[in-house]
Structure formats: structure tokens, C-alpha cells
């Protein structure tokens, strides 16, 4: 019969929504294929996650809806765009996730959504899925819920109470940059306030201290520099005690033609490299004892695309090298390009037991990172 519009079934909707989740590229800059998101045979996106025991698994991740009232100018799903809009109900999401879980393909769930009507209406839908899994299906595993900008404190707390982790994207480094990307959201009220409130709920000695909080910057959509992003990153870790900060390179051609990201120079490859360098700077702050103020930048305020930030710092501080492997403390060893936390722990442990090192070959099998480290070291 002509003129009949077929209502999409669950699999069709999951295919559309899982595909639309691709615009969130967190973890896309892994060093090998195992670190990157991948698409399953039935068009769902599976995201790699490192587990606390050192192993790895994948998350089932989807939007529950690509309907959105917001005008985020970098987003291809923003209000007014001509795209196929679909929404999953709670039962559809629960059924699809449990099917994957029972087959052993995933270990947890990551849910996000466009804004359906109002932030709290959308949060209610996300929360209902978590409640079914926790209270009806007795699922005690990993659930990550995206907090919708502008959600009420009550909705945020309810989501935190059901989650293993929550996140709300900060998107840009400051209000002036944010205003270039959206007119429907208020930076201080809809972004900064809930970030602070989540930190209050999940802080040490608080009721929900086991719940992790993360956030994400969109890199290159507005015109902030890497130095501004790193300064904000340092403040978020220091003041809000976030577990992790992610970066997502803006994809040119997906946003409005007049946003800064469409006018700035550089290729998409350079944007992805910029994202990668920001992850390296983040790693230095979280794992290597660097402060945000110590991260080096080029004269344009961005991280070097040709040299990782740890090597750049070493090049600017030749007086710090060579470092004596058999006498240096943990802080100085971690500043050696090519040495990571695992190698440094091993050095300190073996030194404590009376061992001495005579060359980088004593660290283990030779590889490129150790070759890099060799020129910064001495062996007394």
C-alpha cells in the first residue's frame, strides 16, 4: 500500500542511535585497534574500557534518543537538522543490553541522549532504565549515565545514586568560548553548577564517594587554545577531583559553517593529533606528577604537534638531565621521556632490594621507548 510509513522496530532504532553515538569520540585516539571503539556486526558501537584489575572489556553504548531541543552548533544532531529522529523506550534498551550481557559481549552500559523536551524529562528516561536494571533485573555491574545539561539537582542526585560513573560534558574552556557554540544553554547554570554539585555528592567521605565523575572537551569547535584547555583541566582535577577528563576532536563539516572550528586552519589529521597531545598532557598531570603550569606550549598557545609534551619539557630543561637511574627519586625518573610509571616502580623496587642498573637493557626487552629514554639517563 502506498503512503504507509513503517514504524521502526528496536533493531532499526538501535542501529540509528548507536551510529549517532559515533560523534562522541572519547577514547578514539588509542595507540592500537584494541584501544579504539569498534562497530559490532549488528551496527552497535562497543567501547573499550580498562578494568581495575588491569584487564579490558567493552561497554554497550547508545543514545536513547537523537531528538534534541538544543542548538549545539558543532553537533550534527542539533535542533533543526534534517536527520532521522528515533527514540528508544526503557524496555527496549534493557532488553538489548541484557542480550549482549548474557552473551558475554559487554560488561556494562553507557547511556546518553539528546534533550527530549526538557533536561529533567530526558533524565527521567535515563534514570528509569537504570532503575529497571538495578531493582528489577538485579544488575549490580557498571552503569554510566550522561547527565543532561540543565538537569535539576534532584535528578542529578537520583542518577548518581544508581550509577557507577556519571559525566557531564564541559565542552569548552570558559563561558566566552561556550557562547560561540550554543545559545540555548547557560554555561554557569547548566554546566558548571551541576559539575560542582556532582563533585559535592561524590567527594571523599560522601555517600556516593564510589561513583566516578568525568567530563569532556570538544577540541577545535571554538577557538580556545590548548593552554586554555590545560588550565581548565588542571582546575577541574584540583577543585572538583574528577576521575578523568576526555577530549573529542571536532569533525569539520558536521557543524554550522560560521563556527570558529570551520574557519580555523589545519587539517582534520592535525585536529586528531591535537586531541592526542591533550591526552598526553592529561596523562602527565594525572600519572607523572606534572602540574598544569608545567605543560609546555608553542608560541601560538597550542601543544607541539611534532613532539609529545614530556619530550618538549625535557628539551626546555636540559639542566635536569641526565638522570641517575641508581640514585634518582620517583619524581625525577618520571620526568625521563620513555620511562612510564610501571618501569619506574620496577626500578625503585629492585633498587630497594639491592639491585643496581647498568644499562636500559636491565629494564626489560628493548623497545622504542627505552631507546628514547637512554639518552636522558646515566648509570652511576
DSSP string, 28-73: TT-SSGGGS-EE-TTS-EEEEEE-TTS-EEEEEEEESB-------T
Q: Judge whether residue 5 has pLDDT over 60.
A: no
In this predicted structure, what is the pLDDT of residue 263? 86
List pLDDT tens digits, range 293-338: 999 999 999 999 999 999 999 999 999 999 999 999 999 999 999 9
Chain-wide mean pLDDT for the chain? 88
- List, as one string, the DSSP characters of 194-261: HHHHHHHHHSTTSTTTTSEEEEEEEETSS---HHHHHHHHHHHHHHH--SEEEEEE--TTSS-TTSHH
Q: Judge whether residue 153 has pLDDT over 60.
A: yes
In this predicted structure, what is the pLDDT of residue 47? 55
Total Cβ atoms within 10 A of residue 269: 10
**CATH label of the domain that carries residue 86:** 3.20.20.70
Domain boundary among 306, 338, 357: 306
My answer on whether 281 and 230 are in the same domain is: yes
Q: Judge whether residue 155 has pLDDT over 80.
A: yes
How does residue 83 score in pLDDT terms, banded at 50, 70 and 90? confident
Q: Is residue 200 part of a domain?
A: yes
* Nearest-10 crossing angle of helices 226-240, 268-287: 30
Q: Is residue 3 part of a domain?
A: no
Count: domains in the chain: 2
CA pair distance 162, 145, nearest whole angstrom? 9
The β-bridge relationship of strands 38-39 and 45-50 is antiparallel
CA pair distance 8, 268, nearest whole angstrom? 34
- Percentage of the chain lying above the pLDDT 90 cut: 68
My answer on whether 224 and 75 are in the same domain is: yes
**Position with higher pLDDT, 369 vs 6:** 369
My answer on whether 254 and 331 are in the same domain is: no
My answer on whether 176 and 250 are in the same domain is: yes
Domain boundary among 306, 325, 346: 306
C-alpha 103: how far from its chain's center? Answer: 27
Its domain, for residue 373, covers: 317-378
My answer on whether 221 and 359 are in the same domain is: no
**CATH label of the domain that carries residue 355:** 1.10.150.320
Domain boundary among 287, 306, 325: 306
Q: What is the dihedral of CA 122, 125, 130, 132, to 10 degrees?
A: 170
Q: Is residue 78 part of a domain?
A: yes
My answer on whether 208 and 322 are in the same domain is: no
Q: Is residue 2 part of a domain?
A: no
Amino acid at each position: 500500500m502506498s503512503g504507509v510509513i513503517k514504524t521502526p522496530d528496536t533493531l532499526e532504532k538501535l542501529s540509528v542511535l548507536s551510529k549517532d553515538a559515533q560523534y562522541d569520540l572519547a577514547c578514539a585516539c588509542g595507540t592500537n585497534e584494541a584501544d579504539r571503539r569498534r562497530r559490532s556486526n549488528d551496527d552497535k558501537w562497543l567501547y573499550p574500557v580498562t578494568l581495575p584489575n588491569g584487564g579490558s572489556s567493552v561497554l554497550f553504548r547508545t543514545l536513547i534518543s537523537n531528538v534534541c531541543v538544543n542548538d549545539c552548533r558543532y553537533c550534527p544532531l542539533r535542533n533543526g537538522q534534517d536527520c532521522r529522529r528515533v527514540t528508544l523506550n526503557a524496555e527496549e534498551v534493557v532488553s538489548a543490553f541484557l542480550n549482549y550481557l548474557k552473551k558475554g559481549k559487554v560488561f556494562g552500559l553507557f547511556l546518553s541522549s539528546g534533550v527530549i523536551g526538557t533536561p529533567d524529562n530526558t533524565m527521567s528516561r535515563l534514570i528509569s532504565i537504570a532503575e529497571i536494571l538495578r531493582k528489577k533485573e538485579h544488575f549490580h555491574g557498571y552503569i554510566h549515565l550522561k547527565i543532561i545539561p540543565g538537569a535539576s539537582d534532584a535528578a542529578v542526585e537520583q542518577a548518581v545514586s544508581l550509577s557507577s560513573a556519571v559525566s557531564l560534558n564541559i565542552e569548552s574552556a570558559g563561558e566566552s568560548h561556550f557562547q560561540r557554540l550554543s545559545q540555548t544553554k547557560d554555561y554557569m547554570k547548566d554546566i558548571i553548577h551541576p559539575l560542582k554539585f556532582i563533585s559535592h555528592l561524590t567527594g571523599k567521605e560522601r555517600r556516593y564517594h564510589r561513583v566516578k565523575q568525568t567530563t569532556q572537551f570538544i577540541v577545535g569547535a571554538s577557538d580556545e587554545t590548548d593552554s586554555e584547555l590545560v588550565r581548565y583541566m588542571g582546575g577541574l582535577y584540583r577543585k572538583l577531583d574528577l576521575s578523568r577528563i576526555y577530549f573529542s576532536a571536532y569533525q569539520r563539516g558536521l557543524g554550522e559553517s560560521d563556527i570558529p572550528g570551520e574557519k580555523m586552519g589545519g587539517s582534520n589529521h592535525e585536529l586528531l593529533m591535537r586531541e592526542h597531545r591533550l591526552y598526553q598532557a592529561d596523562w602527565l598531570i594525572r600519572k607523572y606528577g606534572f602540574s598544569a603550569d608545567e605543560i609546555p606550549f608553542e608560541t601560538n598557545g597550542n601543544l607541539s604537534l611534532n613532539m609529545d609534551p614530556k619530550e618538549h619539557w625535557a628539551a626546555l630543561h636540559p639542566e635536569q638531565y641526565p638522570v641517575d637511574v641508581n640514585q634518582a627519586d620517583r619524581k625525577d625518573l618520571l620526568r625521563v621521556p620513555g620511562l612510564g610509571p610501571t618501569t619506574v616502580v620496577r626500578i625503585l623496587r629492585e633498587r630497594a632490594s639491592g639491585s643496581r642498573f647498568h644499562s636500559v637493557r636491565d629494564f626489560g626487552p628493548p623497545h622504542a621507548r627505552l631507546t628514547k629514554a637512554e639518552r636522558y639517563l646515566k648509570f652511576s
